Amino acid sequence: MEACAARQTPPTLTPAEHVQAGLDALDRGDLDGATVHLATAAELADGSLERQARLLGAAVALDPRNPARDPDLAASLAGGITDEEGSEWEAALARSLYSIALDLGATQTAVRSQTATAADIPHLSAPSLAARMQQLETTVAELRRELERIRETLKP
């Protein structure tokens, strides 16, 4: 009976505690855990803390060491910061992170405020790295099939 009485749900973390838990997870090398905490903080916080969580969360979501690397999440987090909020450097960094997420294959359009215009949302001027890699993989597969066909033709 004591075990049942002792079971309690864990306390809910505040947005600031989620950011701190994300930073602690980063220190431990737990990028997946850091991503979860920072994305949660971005949803719950507002103002400067929200922007910090969004920027750091987007960067961690794009980190190549992150086993749960997620360009869509990064685009969503970075896209949630508009030019009207915070400082110029935050908006510039958010645009860069959003563009990197697009280049790495993000498929969703980031959520922007009602005041954001199409000009505020970065667009890639060339095909994304993800699209170029897919094209290269397709070309390599075609060349392998052709090489195999040629080998079969040359067999005595």
Q: Determine the Cα–Cα distance for residues 116 and 11; give it in Å rounded to an integer.
A: 36
- The predicted structure's pLDDT at residue 71: 94
- The predicted structure's pLDDT at residue 109: 59
- The predicted structure's pLDDT at residue 85: 74
- The predicted structure's pLDDT at residue 148: 94
Whose tokens are 């079969």? That residue is 152
- The predicted structure's pLDDT at residue 50: 94
How confident is the model over 3-20, as pLDDT tens digits? 444 444 356 889 999 999
- The predicted structure's pLDDT at residue 8: 42
- Check residue 11 and report its DSSP letter: P
Residues 6+ apart with CB under 8 A from 62: 69, 71, 74, 97, 100, 101, 104
Pick out the chain residues at pLDDT < 70: 1-11, 108-121
- The predicted structure's pLDDT at residue 115: 40
What pTM did the predictor assign?
Answer: 0.74
- The predicted structure's pLDDT at residue 127: 81
C-alpha count within 13 angstroms, C-beta hemisphere, residue 114: 0
Tokens at 100, concatenated: 């990197």
- The predicted structure's pLDDT at residue 120: 62
